[in-house]
Amino acid sequence: MPHAPRTAFVAPGLESWRDGLAQAGVAIVRERADLAVVRGHDPVPDAEAAIVVGRGGRRALRGRAGIRRYAALPGAREPHLILPVDRPHVSSYAIRQWTVPSSALRRR
């Protein structure tokens, strides 16, 4: 997304996403969201951006323009980083800088 979402729809069963987005100040709504977080078998509501958790993302988003793929680390249930799959240099930089402390200050 070009900007942080202000509102999000989160499908039932994805409470960790709902909690994390709420902690980040994103309002959880039932319709007209900036961001939709669903599973591959869930219908994808109309939203500016969608996160499809697990398998079935390509099928769920078929026909939508401007699709980009991301990987959640360490996993989709409780992501600490969300990285673009098609930008290996960005992903590599983020992993190096944010997951492995390289200085004494960052090791604390």
d(CA 65, CA 24): 27
pLDDT in tens, 62-85: 777 777 778 788 777 777 778 887
**What residues does each domain of the chain span?**
1-67, 70-108
The first and second tokens of residue 92, run together, are 């590599």
Show contacts of 78-85: CB within 8 Å, 24+ apart. 78/16, 78/20, 79/20
CB 25 within 8 A of CB 51: no
d(CA 74, CA 70): 12
Q: What is the pLDDT averaged over residues 1-8?
A: 84
What is the per-residue DSSP string for 21-71? Answer: HHHTTPEE-SSSEEEEEEETTS---SEEEEEEESTTHHHHHTT-SS---EE
pLDDT in tens, 25-44: 999 999 889 999 998 888 88
Prediction pTM value: 0.68
